[in-house]
Amino acid sequence: MSLPFCTTRRVEFSDTDAAGIMHFSAFFRFMEQAEHDLLRSQGLSVVMQDEVAKSGGGKLSWPRVHAHCDFRIPAHYEDVVEIEVSISRLGEKSASYQFRFALAGRELAVGEITSVCCRMIAGQPPQSVAIPDWFRAKLLPFVVSAADG
């Protein structure tokens, strides 16, 4: 059984629109930050060195290839949003993170981001690579299994 990673974010004034509700673009920032929080909790980051990097092979990084979000109810300035993060798919080169936003237990929004493991070398386009075993092992506890329903 997987465990979702849980974090919270307060809706700041700059996250809201003229109607005083949380702007859709802020949900994407919250998703990105929640993904980074999950990685940090495991001693990982979206920009890391590894053995290959130490020998001049660039850094491991995770450009996004897909993002979506469905918005169910509005959030407002000062609301504290609960965010549950789990991994809906851990492929050879990519990880899809699923986000459930809630306000006082009510579903606020659900979203997903897919990030691809890439080697980044300055001046060159990103090159996708297999997720290294040491990185994959730390993501595995968050992968949603069929038994999680």
Ligand X SMILES: CC(C)(COP(=O)(O)OP(=O)(O)OC[C@H]1O[C@@H](n2cnc3c(N)ncnc32)[C@H](O)[C@@H]1OP(=O)(O)O)[C@@H](O)C(=O)NCCC(=O)NCCSC(=O)c1cc(O)c2ccccc2c1O
80 sits near ligand X (criterion: CB under 6 A): no
Among the residues of the chain, which ranges form H helices? 24-41, 51-54, 133-139
Task: Report the C-alpha gap between 125 and 71 in whole angstroms.
Answer: 34
128 sits near ligand X (criterion: CB under 6 A): yes
Closest CA relative to residue 35, chosen from 78, 105, 88, 76: 88
Nearer to ligand X, 22 or 58 (CB): 58
Task: Report the C-alpha gap between 87 and 102 in whole angstroms.
Answer: 18
Nearer to ligand X, 72 or 93 (CB): 93
Active site (annotated) includes residue 17: yes
Whole-number minimum distance, CB 135 to ligand X, in Å? 13
Catalytic residue among 17, 50, 79, 133: 17
In the numeric block, the tokens 């459930």 are attached to 100
11 sits near ligand X (criterion: CB under 6 A): no
Nearer to ligand X, 57 or 63 (CB): 63
Nearer to ligand X, 38 or 102 (CB): 38
- HSE at residue 43, side-chain half, CA atoms within 13 A, is 5
* CB-closest chain residue to ligand X: 91
Closest CA relative to residue 71, chosen from 26, 114, 14: 26
49 sits near ligand X (criterion: CB under 6 A): no
Residues marked active site are found at 17
Q: Which residues bind ligand X (CB under 6 A)?
A: 32, 46-47, 61-66, 91-94, 114, 116, 118, 126, 128
